[in-house]
Amino acid sequence: MLKSFIDVDEESHFPIQNLPYGIFRPKGKTAPRAGVAIGDWILDLSILDDKGYFNETGAGGKRVFSEPSLNAFMNLGPNVWAEVRTVLQDLLREDNPEIRDQADLRDSLFSRQSGVDMLMPVEIRDYTDFYASEQHATNVGTMFRGRENALMPNWKHLPVGYHGRASSIIVSGTEIKRPLGQRKTEGDQPEFGPSMRLDFELEMGLVIGHGNESGSRIPVEEAEEHIFGLVLVNDWSARDIQAWEYQPLGPFLSKSFATSISPWIVPMAALEPFRTAGPKQDPEPLPYLKGSGDQTFDIHLEAHLKIPGLSEPVVVTETNFRTLYWSMAQQIAHHTVNGCNLNAGDLLASGTISGDEKTSRGCMLERTWRGEEPLQLPNGEKRVWLEDGDELRLTGWCQADGYRVGFGQVNSRILPTQVEETKGGSRDAVLSEKG
């Protein structure tokens, strides 16, 4: 088994087999730069680049690792990604003295993860959110339409999705404020105020590394070549705002206030040993969606809820990426079949990932079955929806013999919305600057 001279615990998400990419800023420095995670450390790619270690790759001389995002590197394409990964794994091997035995060089190259600020890894150009979990779609459909009509007639014929808001995608650790909007009431008239049914959605997202020209399409068998890597995604949802606004055009303000992603992008090469088959698709997809071979990955996923007054977070959900009905390749093929162009930095999220068991449901809407089955917490409290001060932590990893390839965490704490009296005497809700 490949090992690094950097000491890495067996349960670390970042062994030499992973080497995920991110953008970081060391404390006391202003310039962001690219790095890879290895154990508890970050290897500074900008310094390696300046010292010529990538000169024999397609990234040589382009200074892509000194950029404040990974977009320029991603645009170089899969052959260059593979070349850079080969250089990094060779330099980090336990039997390679190149960096291992040069103390000054080693000290300049490595920063502790605990001592840096992690930034957005990519400049998100566009954002699409899919609805790819059959269990999730069935559960939600059953709540609102009954078991016999749970899935809409089109659901098993195409990957359903909607166009999200790229500007409000935030990196892990960024706090969110409870959103405002129109909420559905029992009658036909809405009320305005802060969402009272705030929810999380446990998702994965793929980051497009290089795209396609407008008017062209990406065949399903070539789709994975366009994926730079995967991130964890928490697609926050205001269910009461969503219930009022979604007809006839779908989610809008109920989704666009925040979507959190993890700071590390796990490359496709690191996931390859965990490739597996997805669910059987019936009916058979149309030819442009019909892929071959194993098209998904065995990624264990968890959602943890940390509430004020509770010392340890509670595991709310345990599920797996492999349960998704529609694969990433099928999502890309469908997205581009009409000639839609994708670009480096585009984020395509899976939609909520749910399994067959109650404990594998990937959001509070499902987990509490629309509020009928509240979560019982160890301190005696109950949760139906998320409350102010709650923190959600999503994590995930692939497990091998002796190591795991993980995604780290995506976490965020919920801040309150303050309701104040306006000068005109009417009550209006405004975001509190104090949180």
Pairing of strands 347-349, 418-421: unpaired
Interatomic CA distance for residues 391 and 55, integer angstroms? 44
Characterize 36-66 residue by residue with b for buried, 16 or more Cβ atoms within 10 angstroms of its Cβ, and e for exposed: bbbbebbbbbbbbbeeebbeebbbbebebbb
DSSP state of 323: G
User: Which token pair is 34?
Assistant: 């690219």
Output the CA–CA distances (angstroms, integers) from residue 375 to 368, 380, 433, in the order listed: 6, 10, 31
Closest CA to 402 of 4, 6, 9, 14: 9
**Sign, Cα dihedral of 119, 124, 129, 133:** negative
C-beta separation of 8 from 38 below 8 A: yes
**Sign, Cα dihedral of 355, 358, 363, 365:** positive
In 107-190, beta strands by DSSP E = 110-112, 116-119, 127-130, 161-163, 169-171, 176-177, 180-183
C-beta separation of 298 from 277 below 8 A: no
Pairing of strands 391-399, 300-306: antiparallel
Helices H / strands E in the chain, number of each: 11, 28
Residue tagged 């088994």 (tokens): 1
User: Which token pair is 233?
Assistant: 């995604």
Question: pLDDT digits over 380-409, tens only?
Answer: 999 999 999 999 999 999 999 999 999 999
Burial class (CB in 10 A: 0-12, 13-18, 19+), 425: exposed
Interatomic CA distance for residues 246 and 238, integer angstroms? 11
Closest CA to 210 of 334, 85, 78: 78
Residue-range domains of the chain with CATH: 21-119 (2.30.30.230), 127-430 (3.90.850.10)
Q: Is 299 helix (H, G, I), strand (E, B) or coil?
A: coil
pTM attached to this predicted model: 0.95
C-beta separation of 307 from 383 below 8 A: yes
Interatomic CA distance for residues 289 and 271, integer angstroms? 22
Cβ neighbours around 251 below 10 Å, total: 19
- pLDDT digit of tens for each residue in the chain (435 aa)? 999 999 999 999 999 999 999 999 988 777 999 999 999 999 999 999 999 999 999 999 999 999 999 999 999 999 999 999 999 999 999 999 999 999 999 999 999 999 999 999 999 999 999 999 999 999 999 999 999 999 999 999 999 999 999 999 999 999 999 999 999 888 888 999 999 999 999 999 999 999 999 999 999 999 999 999 999 999 999 999 999 999 899 999 999 999 999 999 999 999 999 999 999 999 999 999 999 999 999 999 999 999 998 989 999 999 999 999 999 999 999 999 999 999 999 999 999 999 999 999 999 999 999 999 999 999 999 999 999 999 999 999 999 999 999 999 999 999 999 655 333 333 444 333 222
C-beta separation of 35 from 118 below 8 A: no
CA angle (332, 334, 337) in 5-degree steps = 105
Size of the chain in residues: 435
Interatomic CA distance for residues 395 and 313, integer angstroms? 13
Q: Which residues are catalytic?
A: 136
Interatomic CA distance for residues 150 and 430, integer angstroms? 37
